[in-house]
Amino acid sequence: MELWKKLGIAAAAFLAAKSVMPKSRKLPKGKGVFIDDLVREGKSPAHLIERLKWMDISFILIEIAWHDDKQDNTHNLEDGSLAAFVPELVAAGIQCWVWGFPSPDRVERFVELVEHAYRVAPQVAGVVVDAEKPFYGPQYATQAEDLMSRLKALGRPVGFTSYGYTNYHTSFPYEAFASADFGMPQIYSELGGPYPNKADDSYRDLGIEYMVPINGASSVHRVDDPDGFGIEEQAAFSDTSDGAIAFWNYRHLVLADDSRQAQRATFVRGFSDWGGDG
């Protein structure tokens, strides 16, 4: 076969493959929120979209796995809600990521679940690894590196979130997760002052260049009580981000059984200073 024909066939194959791939592999921008259960909290794609648009949310992170010594939770995959919600969310301009809580003894299982999520909802932008207690200890560095390598081999961006300030957790193998495309340091605690900036700097010191800090929006985070965990104070961390922040979590913005639910949701809606050029 002549060379020009071979090149034409190769180009056609590339374009065909590209046409079925998600249109965006971009990293998060703007405001995001973690969501645990699409059906229980989102109710329906239309209802969830309406609420997210009201809060000016541009990306969400959907749980697909929770691996600890008690459970193997995959509800958003098992009940078909990921496949049902994601296409409509993306069509409405809301970027969708999946996230999970892995365990070093179930690396292969975690990767399988991510692969399954990509198959049933090909519009998913990528995955965020929430590595915490199960990986605590330098003995788990090998499993952590294996997990990151396998996830990156799937061809979509991989984010990493964990304890916010690396100097407070010297036994955690942060370096093993440093291949992440973006970092999400968790800073939603009573620690104020210089803590947010220290957390940001410590993640950048790992070599992670793009930062999407996580701010608190749960039952303990308040806007008007200086003695509580101030959502407003924690959101100030956004000035160290690269154009995106995320809030933990959607349930406490719409379903919480406390009087501050609407207050937190209103704060998230009005918050617009997320740093960078977002």
Full pLDDT tens readout for the chain, 278 residues: 444 443 343 444 333 333 333 444 589 999 999 999 999 888 999 999 999 999 999 999 999 998 765 666 677 988 899 999 999 999 999 999 999 999 999 999 999 999 999 999 999 999 999 999 999 999 999 999 999 999 999 999 999 999 888 888 899 999 999 999 999 998 766 555 666 778 888 999 999 999 998 887 666 666 655 555 566 655 655 556 688 889 888 988 887 666 677 878 888 888 776 554 43
Evaluate whether residue 105 is within a structural domain: yes
What pLDDT is recorded for position 274?
A: 58
Beta-ladder partners of 34: 61
Q: Are 61 and 35 in contact (CB under 8 A)?
A: yes
Q: For the chain, how many structural domains are there in total?
A: 1
Nearest to 187 by CA among 239, 110, 258: 239
End-to-end CA distance of the chain: 49
Evaluate whether residue 12 is within a structural domain: no
Evaluate whether residue 4 is within a structural domain: no
- CB-neighbour burial class of residue 272 (10 A; exposed 0-12, middle 13-18, buried 19+): exposed
What pLDDT is recorded for position 263?
A: 79
CATH number at residue 260: 3.20.20.80
| Residue 185 belongs to domain spanning | 26-270
- Rounded to whole angstroms, the Cα distance separating 227 from 268 reads 20
Residue 1 token pair: 């076969």
Evaluate whether residue 208 is within a structural domain: yes
Evaluate whether residue 7 is within a structural domain: no
- Rounded to whole angstroms, the Cα distance separating 105 from 219 reads 32
- What pTM value is reported for the model? 0.85
Evaluate whether residue 139 is within a structural domain: yes
What is the residue whose two structure tokens read 């929770």? Answer: 66
Residue 168 token pair: 């407070």
Nearest to 33 by CA among 90, 75, 96, 104: 96
Exposure b/e, 183-222, CB count within 10 A at least 16 = b: bbbbbbbebeeebbebbbbbbeebebebbbbbbbbbeebb
